[in-house]
């Protein structure tokens, strides 16, 4: 059976707050954020949400980043205590495969390099690393997941860092976003 939030009842008064609770929340980066020489994930200043206790959310988004080859990016999420859920990111694996690499990966007839794709499922607060090709070579990660909060309301946030400490900055770019929809 499909889930929807909130459950509307016949004769119920529609208020602005009720209508607002039915809309998806969108958090979008309004400026680039760069970090360097740190592997400790911190909450992104733009992609955060206030979430309710005893609620269920689904979410999806798009993250654009670049950084040093070998520095890469580590994505994760913070959630209120007791929260459960899962997420997956579809993006470049840590090892970017080239024509001279073993194994090789040919993606088309024009280029002889490609990317091993990460598709693992993760617990909602588990981190996952994605590869980088060097500054000026932006990559993306498509992310989606579920969040089930326990009896504690709080903040759900994208947290991130470099996967390996690098003196070259890793940057999350403007217009990266997450849509969060409460469904129960």
Confidence at 59, pLDDT banded by 50, 70, 90: very high
- For residue 47, being part of any structural domain is answered with yes
Give the per-residue pLDDT at 80.
98
Give the per-residue pLDDT at 50.
96
Q: What is the mean pLDDT of the chain?
A: 89
- For residue 68, being part of any structural domain is answered with yes
CATH number at residue 128: 2.60.120.760
- For residue 8, being part of any structural domain is answered with no
What is the C-alpha separation between 27 and 161, in angstroms, rounded?
19
pLDDT at 181 over 90: yes
pLDDT at 172 over 60: yes
Give the per-residue pLDDT at 115.
57
What is the C-alpha separation between 7 and 85, in angstroms, rounded?
22
pLDDT at 121 over 70: yes
> What's the pLDDT tens digit per position in 14-26?
899 888 888 999 9
pLDDT at 58 over 70: yes
- For residue 5, being part of any structural domain is answered with no
- For residue 49, being part of any structural domain is answered with yes
| Distant-in-sequence, close-in-space partners of 77: CB < 8 Å, separation ≥ 6 | 87, 124, 125, 145, 156, 157, 158, 159
Give the per-residue pLDDT at 4.
81
What is the C-alpha separation between 99 and 60, in angstroms, rounded?
33
- For residue 2, being part of any structural domain is answered with no
Q: How long is the chain?
A: 184
Confidence at 79, pLDDT banded by 50, 70, 90: very high
For 64, the domain range is 24-182
How many helices (DSSP H) and strands (DSSP E) are in the chain?
1, 13
Number of domains in the chain: 1
Contact 49, 27 (CB under 8 A): yes
Give the per-residue pLDDT at 113.
52
- For residue 14, being part of any structural domain is answered with no
Give the per-residue pLDDT at 17.
86
- For residue 40, being part of any structural domain is answered with yes
> What's the pLDDT tens digit per position in 84-117?
999 999 998 876 555 555 555 554 444 445 556 7
């Amino acid at each position: 059976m499909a889930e929807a939030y909130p459950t509307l009842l016949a004769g119920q008064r529609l208020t602005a707050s009720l209508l607002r609770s039915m809309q998806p929340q969108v958090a979008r980066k309004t400026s680039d954020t760069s970090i360097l020489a740190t592997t400790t994930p911190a909450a992104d200043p733009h992609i955060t949400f206030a979430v309710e206790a005893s609620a269920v959310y689904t979410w999806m988004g798009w993250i654009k980043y670049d950084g040093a080859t070998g520095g890469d990016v580590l994505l994760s999420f913070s959630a209120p205590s007791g929260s459960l859920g899962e997420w997956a990111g579809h993006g470049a694996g840590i090892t970017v495969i080239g024509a001279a690499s073993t194994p090789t990966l040919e993606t088309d007839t024009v280029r002889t390099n490609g990317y091993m794709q990460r598709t693992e499922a993760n617990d909602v607060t588990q981190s996952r690393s994605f590869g980088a090709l060097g500054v000026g070579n932006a990559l993306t990660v498509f992310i989606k997941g579920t969040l089930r909060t326990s009896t504690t309301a709080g903040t759900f946030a994208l947290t991130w860092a470099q996967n390996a400490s690098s003196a070259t900055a890793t940057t999350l770019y403007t217009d990266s976003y997450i849509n969060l929809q409460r469904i129960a």
